[in-house]
Structure 1
Amino acid sequence: MTEHTSVLTLRLAGPLQSWGASSRFARRTTERAPTKSGVLGLLAAAQGRDRGADLSDLAALTFAVRLDQPGTRLRDYQTAHHGDTDKSMPVSERFYLSDAVFVAAVEGDEPLIDALYTAVRTPTFLPFLGRRSCPPSRPIDLGVHPGGLWRALRTEPWQAAAWFQRRRAHERHIELEVIADLADGDGPGDALRDQPLSFDPRHRRYKLREVHSSAVTVTNPLGTARRTSPPPKHDPMALLED
């Protein structure tokens, strides 16, 4: 990235989320964290872009997601009837993440990031967390940050629910996993087919994206652990010396 870049962070929290990268036919799976295609789709919708619009500027953004509250994987079944014939369609499996919270971050040129921030605050189309049946439970915009993507992920406060933070109240500092774009030449990494080329419903296209896992440390605002002084030295034989 050049010197004139900034970072937009987004809080992705809701009762249910679903971020598919390899779903096919009647089995609709979810990754364990938001996908780049899903988050860029949210941003494109906020800007009011047509599904056939050019995505090259969004696809060029550097992307990472912090797992603040991993949630629980949930399986559901869905039935449907054909709209014209009323014929029963095959029962499909749908997978979701329940009670999950993530912080997604995109880094790019300042004018584009500022435009995305404005769009997220006043979206043309309402945001959803991977599927239209998964609305966010809290505002998603967390602000624009200077200083690079990793600095933003280290300084953004922990967004987990209060009940989840209390579970780890014995820890003052929390290590959180981050799944991020792998820079060219820094491989090998893991591959996800979630780099969008087109959202056109007639021919959606994605390519592989190299990612890697790392971690950042944040403060637990509900942490109560305190550093204690070492216990005094004790010599059990001292009373026998007289």
Structure 2
Amino acid sequence: MLPWIEIDRAQIPGGGGELRLKQRGQEFSIMLGANELMNSRLSGSEEALATLTHEKISERKKPKILIGGLGMGFTLRSALSVFPEDAHIIVAELVPQVVEWARGPMAEIFKGCLDDPRVEIKIGDVAAVIAATNAGLDAILLDVDNGPDGLTRASNERLYDHAGLTATLKALRPGGVVAVWSSGPDGAFTRRLTQSGFEAQALNVRASTKRSGARHVIWIARKRS
């Protein structure tokens, strides 16, 4: 078996630790310490984040979507495949090197999707983008951590507490949707979504596109009109 080769490292702003990009043949992995945050072989649940969101707002004209976290681009590519040509998709990525990796060593995975005219890349904290938006988004897709527990940065938890969900609610248009990716279930988060003014459901989805193996959780929560 081919050995893993470390390609690059990147510091997470705010003292969140160090990301490591690794490659083995055609396979890529992004690590934080001993934790694998993402792997190029496992894209099913990240793709579902976009497709499940689209199902909820498919009737909207010129939808404006915010994706929190670029990662390996699976959610973005899936969004580009289902949303119309007049969509505006903003991707907020905290770590600038992740965007560099997308245009460099992982360019084959991204397949030029960053150059799609519908895409706008913002380097910075997605929480700040949300806070600066007032009822201007049709959907917010969050894949910035391992879920509501804030593995990579403790400050990520502010996205998922009552104050963060209130800001998300304010950023969405009536009937807009927030979708949240997680490596596992969290009943307390489901309750916070409901208490914050959303109609929420937690869905189990496969990590792999082969419909086998581990399951992840996606919350789909609609803003009550």
Which of structures 1 and 2 has the bigger CA Rg? Answer: 1
| TM norm structure 1 | 0.32
Higher helix share: 2
| TM norm structure 2 | 0.33
